[in-house]
Homo-oligomer: A and B are copies of this chain.
Amino acid sequence: MAEGHDLCGHLTAAGHELRQRVYFEDTDFSGLVYHARYLHFFERGRSDYLRLLGVHHNELAADGLAFAVKTMALDFKRPARIDDILTIVTEPGEIGGARIRLRQAIARGETILVTAAVEVALVNAGGKPQRLPLAVRAALEAQSQPRGDGRSVSI
């Protein structure tokens, strides 16, 4: 379904891009986007990236599994504002047995607003790290050696 697919953004040579709007809910009384909201945008990007690689939260949950963020280094360079259209760029880095490193950026047009170095782990209901499904690992590794023709996040 075209419209549904479009909601997921699209895979690029280097990873994934998703466009999202800034709404009232994302701003605070300073007139700018509330800093914690950028983490929502980053999470939407990661979720849709994994979705397009065939990983679905509800299927993982049926097996008692979920991705959890373990560490995050954030650089808030410039603010986003109400009505902005943001592009969330996600690129895989090192893929360990149970952890995935990702580089992410939020841009408005060509201007990078926020960058994040993120480490996520697949965990079971008890919080224990689990090995990544082989298919996911293979899909991510294929993209972690980009062929140089995609937009790249430099952080």
Question: Which of these, B4, B24, B48, B78, contacts A47 with CB under 8 Å?
Answer: B24
Check A111 for interface membership: any CB of B closer than 8 A.
no
Interface centre among A24, A56, A71, A85 (most CB of B within 10 A): A24
Q: Is the CB of B69 within 8 A of A83?
A: no
Q: Is the CB of A127 within 8 A of B78?
A: yes
For A57, the chain B residues whose CB sits under 8 A away are 24, 29, 82-83
Minimum distance in angstroms from A40 CB to a CB of chain B: 5
Minimum distance in angstroms from A36 CB to a CB of chain B: 4
Question: Which of these, B30, B51, B85, contacts A66 with CB under 8 Å?
Answer: B30
The answer for the CA separation of A75 and B119 in the assembled complex, in Å, is 10
Residue interface mask A45-85, B partner, CB < 8 A = 1 = 00110010000111001000010111111111011011101
Minimum distance in angstroms from A79 CB to a CB of chain B: 6
Task: Using A35-B68, A56-B83, A57-B83 as known contacts, list a sample of 11 further A-B pairs with CB atoms less than 8 Å apart, ordered by residue number in A.
Answer: A7-B19, A8-B21, A23-B43, A24-B28, A28-B28, A29-B57, A30-B66, A31-B61, A35-B39, A35-B43, A35-B69
